[in-house]
C-alpha cells in the first residue's frame, strides 16, 4: 500500500494495529484508523471495487433479451457453485456440476454440451467468456450488447446539414409559421453560402422531414408562432420556485384587455383594459383598475394606493360581503386600523416587492418614483417573459373563465371563438362592469378555495385567499399605512420644468395662477433649478406644483394650478383626447394662438361627439375620454374617502363665478392651496355623496361655472 508518499507491505494485523514493512526493510506500527485517514493512502494493485449492476436498465430491454440474460445467469451460477440459484441454494448438486467431484473445466464442458443439446450451440470458451462477463458486470454483463447500443435520433445524417437545420429552426422562432418545404429551401441556401454551391447535398425529402421532426419536436420549434415565442422567452432551466411566506412580500402587477365588450358614450362599443395587483403569498387580488384602452402610469400607481387602504362597501352590495362577516379577524384588526369599519372582505396588503413586465406603464419614471416614495422594491421581469410572472398571468385566465365569460358581450379568447353579433350583446357600461368586477373579486375570488394555497397544519385542504391572509397575518402581524393628500399627489406622473412669466406650459396647455407670482423666472431650491410638477393624464385640467414653505414641517406645500382655458372646455377630457386634437389641428400662429385653437377644437370635438355627429374615430376618442375621466373620478373618490375617514355631507359645493386668476384674495381657497385640491367640471364635476364616495355630476357637457369643494382633506388627514 501507499502511505505518506512511500510504498509499504502489510506484515501483520494485531487487534486495531497494523505493522508495515517498507522497501528498505524499515518497520512501522500504527492504528488502522490513522492509516485509513492518512493523506494519499491507497492499496497498490488491489482488486477493483465491485459495482452494483444497473438492474433498472433491464426493464428497458425487450423481453426476449432480458429472459436470455437471466437464463445465462442461472447457467453461470450452476457452473461455479453447482446450483442455478447460487451457493445459498439447499440440496445436492447435479453430478456433472458438483464442484467436489468435477473440475471447473469439466463443468464448463458439461454446460456447453447441455446447451448445445437444447438447441443453443455453445462451446466451453463461450461459457468461460460468459463467466468472466458475469464477474465483471453481473446480469448486465450477460446482456447482448448489440441490443443496448444508443439509438441515434438523427441516424447517419451529415453533421453539416444538422447544424444548418438547427440554426434555421432557432432563427425562425420569432417568425411566422411556414411549411417544411420552406425549411428545406432555407437550409439549402445556408449550406450554399457557408460551403459553396453543391458542396453539401441535402438528403431526400422524406429523410429531411424526419430529421426536422427529430430536431424540433422535443423543443417545440414546430408549434404555433405563439408557442415558439413563449418558449424562446422562457428562462433557461432548471426552474426554482420562489418561496413567499408573508403577505406583500411579492406582488405581481400586469395589464390585459378583457374578452368582453362594454358600451361607452354615444353607443361606442370597445374592450376595456384591466390592471390588477396580485399578492403571491395569499393569491389575493389586492387592487384592480378597469379603464378604456390606454392604461397610464397613474393607473398603475393608483393600484399601490388601493392596496394599502381597505376596499369600501358599495351601497348595493349585500352585507355578506363585509369584512366583519368574513373569516378575516375583523375585530382585532379594527382595533388597530379604524379605516376597516364598513370595509369589504378584501385584504389590506402593503407591498414590499412588485414584479412587473417591461411595459412602458410600469417602467415609467412616475411609477418608479411612486414605488420609491412608498418604500416598494420594483423588480422588472425579462422582456417578453410571461413565466416570470406566471401567477398573475394564470389569474387573468381564471378571471376570464370564472367571471368574464358569464358577462353579456363576451368575445371569446380569440377571433376564432367570437360569436356572431357579440358587439350587439354588450349592455354594460364601463362603470357598471367595474362595479360587477369589484363585487366578484370580493365574493367570487377572495372566498373561493385556491389549490395553490395550503396551510402547514392542514396540507390536504385548499384555502381561500381570505383564509390564507387570516392565517399569515396572525404570524406576520398587520401594520396600517395611512396615506395623506401629499401621498396621493406623489403617485401622479411628474415633470420638472421652469415657471415662466406666462405660467407653466405642458404640451401646448398653459397653467397659471396667482400663487406662482413669487416664483416666476426663479430657480427652485433643487439641484437642477427646476420645479416639480405633477399631473393626472385622466384629468389634465389642473396640475400640482411643489412650492417651498418654511412654515410646514416638511418644508413645502402643494398648490393646484388650473389650465387657463378650463372654462372654455367644460366637458371631461383626458390627455389621450388632447393628443388626438393636436394631431388634427395644424399650427398657424404663435403658441398662444395655437393653444386657443386647440381648446376650441377640443370643445367642438366633445360637443360634436355628444350630439352624435362626427366620425367613428372622433366618437371613440370622446367616449374613451368620458369613460376614462369618469372611472378615474369614481375610483379616486372611493379611495379618497377611505384614506381620510368620513366624507362631508352631500351638497357642500358652492358656485364660484369670479375670475380664477384674479389678484385679490377672495377666491384663494376656491382655487387651490391649503384648502385642498380644486375639482371642477373639467375633472368630472365631482360631487360629494352621503355614502362617503364621490359621484359624477349628471350634465357635464353644458357650460357651467367652475365648482370647487370646500372639503379640506388636509384637515381630515391630520386625524390619522
Q: What is the residue whose three cell numbers read 468472466? A: 132
pLDDT at res. 114: 92
With H, G, I as helix, E, B as strand and everything else as coil, classify residue 581. helix
- Say whether pLDDT at 402 is over 90: yes
Is the predicted pLDDT of residue 310 greater than 80, yes or no? yes
What pLDDT score was predicted for residue 599? 76
Q: Give yes or no for residue 336 having a pLDDT over 70.
A: yes
Mean pLDDT of 317-322: 90
Whether residue 473 has pLDDT greater than 80: yes
DSSP-derived secondary structure for 487-521: HHHHTS-EEEE--BTTBEEETTEEE--GGGGGGTT
Q: How far apart are CA 338 and CA 577, in angstroms?
A: 40
CB contact set of 239 (below 8 Å; sequence gap of 6+): 387
Contact call for residues 264 and 326 (beta carbons, < 8 A): no
Asked whether 450 and 288 are in contact (CB, 8 A), the reply is no
What pLDDT does residue 710 have?
A: 37
Higher pLDDT pick, 10 / 457: 10
Q: What is the pLDDT of residues 585-607, one digit of tens each?
A: 776 667 777 777 777 777 776 66
pLDDT over 50 (residue 393): yes
Contact 572, 682 (CB under 8 A): yes
Q: What local confidence, expressed as pLDDT, does residue 250 receive?
A: 94
Give, as one character, the DSSP assignment of residue 315.
Answer: T
pLDDT of residue 530: 92
Instruction: Please tell me what DSSP assigns to residue 343.
Output: B
CB atoms within 10 A of CB 178: 11
Using CA atoms, how far apart are residues 172 and 178, in angstroms rounded to an integer? 9
156-163: which pairs have CB atoms within 8 A and are 24 or more residues apart?
A: 157/203, 157/207, 157/211, 158/200, 158/203, 160/191, 160/194, 160/195, 160/200, 161/187, 161/191, 161/200, 161/202, 161/203, 161/211, 162/211, 162/215
Residue 83 C-alpha cell reads as 446450483
Residues 6+ positions from 611 with CB-CB distance below 8 Å: none
Phi, psi of 500 (to 5 degrees): -95, 180
pLDDT in tens, 116-168: 998 989 999 999 999 998 888 888 888 888 877 766 667 778 889 989 998 99
Tell me the three cell numbers of residue 403.
Answer: 367571471
pLDDT at residue 702, as a whole number: 38
Q: How far apart are CA 98 and CA 235, in angstroms?
A: 65
pLDDT surpasses 70 at 199: yes
User: Looking at residue 147, what is its pLDDT?
Assistant: 79
Model confidence at 452: pLDDT above 50: yes
3-class secondary structure per residue, 414-447: CHHHCCCCCHHHCCCEHHHHHHHHHHHHHHHHCC
Sign of the torsion angle spanned by Cα atoms 18, 22, 27, 28: negative
Evaluate whether 306 touches 480 at the Cβ level (below 8 Å).
no
First to last CA, the chain: 82
Say how many residues make up the chain: 720
SS3 348: coil
pLDDT higher for 437 or 149? Answer: 437
Question: Distance between CA 647 and CA 712 in Å, rounded?
Answer: 10
Cα gap 543→492, rounded to integer Å: 10
The sign of the CA dihedral 159, 161, 162, 164 is positive
Q: How wide is the angle at C-alpha 371 spanned by C-alphas 370 and 372, nearest 5°?
A: 90
State the pLDDT confidence band at 34, using cuts at 50, 70 and 90. confident
Quick one: pLDDT band at residue 308, thresholds 50, 70, 90?
Answer: confident
Q: Which residues contact 212 (CB under 8 A, 6 or more apart)?
A: 165, 169, 180, 183, 222
Q: What's the CA gap between 103 and 119, in Å, rounded?
A: 25
Higher confidence at residue 552 or residue 410?
410
The model's pTM: 0.60
Higher pLDDT pick, 711 / 107: 107
Q: What is the mean pLDDT of the chain?
A: 78
Q: Answer whether 303's CB lies under 8 Å from 351's CB.
A: no
d(CA 125, CA 70): 19
The percentage of residues in the chain with a pLDDT greater than 70, rounded to a whole number, is 79
Question: Are residues 231 and 220 in contact, defined by beta-carbon separation less than 8 angstroms?
Answer: yes
> Would you state the pLDDT for residue 690?
31
Decide: 352 and 377 in contact? Cβ < 8 Å. yes
Counting residues of the chain whose pLDDT is more than 90, the rounded percentage is 18
* Phi-psi region at 448: left, alpha or beta (left = phi > 0; alpha = psi -120 to 50): beta
Give me the residues paired with residue 290 across strands: 274
Helix 591-610 and helix 575-584, axial crossing angle in degrees, nearest 10: 110
C-alpha angle with apex 229: 224 to 235, nearest 5 degrees? 135
pLDDT in tens, 159-197: 899 899 989 988 888 788 888 899 999 999 999 999 999
Whole-number Å distance between alpha carbons of 700 and 684 = 7
Tens digit of each residue's pLDDT (9 = 90 or more) over 659-692: 333 333 333 333 333 333 333 333 333 223 333 3
Amino acid at each position: 500500500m501507499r502511505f505518506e508518499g512511500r510504498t509499504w507491505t502489510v506484515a501483520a494485523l494485531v487487534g486495531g494495529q497494523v505493522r508495515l514493512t517498507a522497501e528498505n526493510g524499515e518497520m512501522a506500527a500504527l492504528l488502522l484508523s490513522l492509516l485509513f485517514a492518512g493523506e494519499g493512502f491507497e492499496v497498490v494493485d488491489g482488486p477493483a471495487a465491485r459495482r452494483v449492476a444497473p438492474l433498472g436498465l433491464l426493464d428497458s430491454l425487450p423481453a426476449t433479451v432480458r429472459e436470455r440474460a437471466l437464463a445465462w445467469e442461472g447457467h453461470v451460477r450452476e457452473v461455479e457453485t453447482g446450483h442455478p440459484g447460487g451457493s445459498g441454494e439447499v440440496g445436492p448438486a447435479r453430478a456433472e456440476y458438483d464442484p467436489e467431484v468435477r473440475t471447473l473445466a469439466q463443468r464448463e464442458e458439461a454446460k456447453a454440451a447441455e446447451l448445445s443439446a437444447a438447441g443453443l450451440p455453445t462451446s466451453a470458451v463461450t461459457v468461460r467468456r460468459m463467466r468472466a462477463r458475469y464477474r465483471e458486470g453481473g446480469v448486465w454483463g450477460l446482456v447482448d450488447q448489440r441490443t443496448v447500443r444508443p439509438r441515434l435520433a438523427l441516424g447517419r445524417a451529415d453533421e453539416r446539414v444538422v447544424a444548418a437545420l438547427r440554426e434555421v429552426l432557432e432563427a425562425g422562432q420569432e417568425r411566422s409559421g411556414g411549411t417544411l418545404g420552406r425549411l428545406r429551401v432555407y437550409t439549402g441556401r445556408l449550406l450554399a453560402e457557408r460551403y459553396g454551391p453543391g458542396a453539401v447535398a441535402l438528403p431526400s425529402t422524406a429523410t429531411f422531414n424526419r430529421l426536422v421532426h427529430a430536431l424540433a419536436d422535443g423543443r417545440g420549434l414546430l408549434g404555433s408562432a405563439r408557442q415558439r415565442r413563449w418558449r424562446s422567452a422562457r428562462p433557461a432551466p432548471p426552474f426554482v420556485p420562489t418561496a413567499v411566506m408573508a403577505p406583500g412580500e411579492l406582488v405581481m402587477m400586469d395589464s390585459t384587455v378583457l374578452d368582453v365588450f362594454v358600451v361607452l358614450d354615444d353607443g361606442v362599443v370597445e374592450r376595456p383594459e384591466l390592471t390588477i395587483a396580485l399578492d403571491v403569498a395569499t393569491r389575493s387580488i389586492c387592487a384592480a383598475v378597469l379603464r378604456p384602452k390606454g392604461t397610464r402610469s397613474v393607473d398603475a400607481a393608483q393600484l399601490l394606493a388601493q392596496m394599502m387602504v381597505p376596499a369600501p362597501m358599495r351601497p348595493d352590495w349585500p352585507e355578506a360581503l363585509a369584512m366583519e362577516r368574513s373569516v378575516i379577524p375583523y375585530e382585532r384588526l379594527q382595533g388597530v386600523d379604524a379605516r376597516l369599519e364598513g370595509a369589504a372582505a378584501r385584504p389590506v396588503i402593503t407591498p414590499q416587492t412588485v414584479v412587473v413586465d417591461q411595459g412602458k406603464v410600469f417602467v415609467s419614471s412616475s411609477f418608479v418614483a411612486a414605488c420609491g416614495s412608498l418604500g416598494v422594491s420594483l423588480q422588472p421581469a425579462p422582456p417578453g417573459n410571461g413565466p416570470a410572472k406566471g401567477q398573475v398571468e394564470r389569474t387573468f385566465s381564471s378571471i376570464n373563465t370564472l367571471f368574464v365569460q358569464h358577462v353579456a358581450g363576451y368575445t371569446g379568447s380569440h377571433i376564432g371563438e367570437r360569436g356572431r353579433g357579440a358587439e350587439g350583446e354588450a349592455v354594460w357600461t364601463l362603470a357598471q362592469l367595474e362595479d360587477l368586477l369589484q363585487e366578484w373579486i370580493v365574493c367570487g375570488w377572495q372566498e373561493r378555495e385556491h389549490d395553490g394555497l395550503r396551510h402547514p397544519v392542514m396540507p390536504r385542504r385548499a384555502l381561500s385567499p381570505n383564509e390564507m391572509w387570516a392565517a399569515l397575518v396572525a404570524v406576520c402581524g398587520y401594520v396600517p399605512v395611512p396615506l395623506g393628500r401629499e401621498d396621493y399627489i406623489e403617485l401622479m406622473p411628474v415633470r420638472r420644468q421652469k415657471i415662466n412669466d406666462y405660467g407653466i406650459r405642458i404640451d401646448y396647455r398653459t397653467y397659471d395662477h396667482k400663487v406662482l407670482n413669487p416664483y416666476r423666472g426663479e430657480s427652485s431650491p433643487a439641484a437642477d433649478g427646476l420645479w416639480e410638477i405633477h399631473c393626472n393624464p385622466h384629468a389634465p385640467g389642473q396640475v400640482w406644483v411643489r412650492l417651498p414653505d418654511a412654515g410646514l414641517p416638511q418644508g413645502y406645500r402643494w398648490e393646484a394650478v388650473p389650465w387657463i382655458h378650463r372654462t372654455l372646455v367644460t366637458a371631461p377630457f383626458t390627455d389621450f383626447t388632447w393628443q388626438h386634437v393636436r394631431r388634427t389641428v395644424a399650427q398657424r400662429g404663435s403658441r398662444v394662438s395655437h393653444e386657443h385653437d386647440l381648446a376650441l377644437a377640443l370643445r367642438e370635438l366633445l360637443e360634436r361627439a355628444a350630439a352624435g355627429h362626427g366620425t367613428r374615430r372622433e366618437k371613440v376618442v370622446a367616449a374613451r375620454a368620458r369613460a376614462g375621466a369618469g372611472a378615474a373620478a369614481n375610483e379616486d373618490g372611493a379611495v379618497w374617502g377611505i384614506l381620510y375617514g368620513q366624507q362631508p355631507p352631500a351638497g357642500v359645493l358652492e358656485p364660484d363665478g369670479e375670475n380664477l386668476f384674479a389678484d385679490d384674495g377672495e377666491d384663494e381657497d376656491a382655487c387651490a392651496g391649503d384648502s385642498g385640491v380644486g375639482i371642477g367640471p373639467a375633472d368630472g364635476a365631482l360631487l360629494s355623496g352621503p355614502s362617503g364616495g364621490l359621484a359624477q355630476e349628471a350634465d357635464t357637457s353644458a357650460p357651467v361655472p367652475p365648482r370647487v369643494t370646500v372639503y379640506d382633506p388636509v384637515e381630515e388627514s391630520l386625524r390619522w
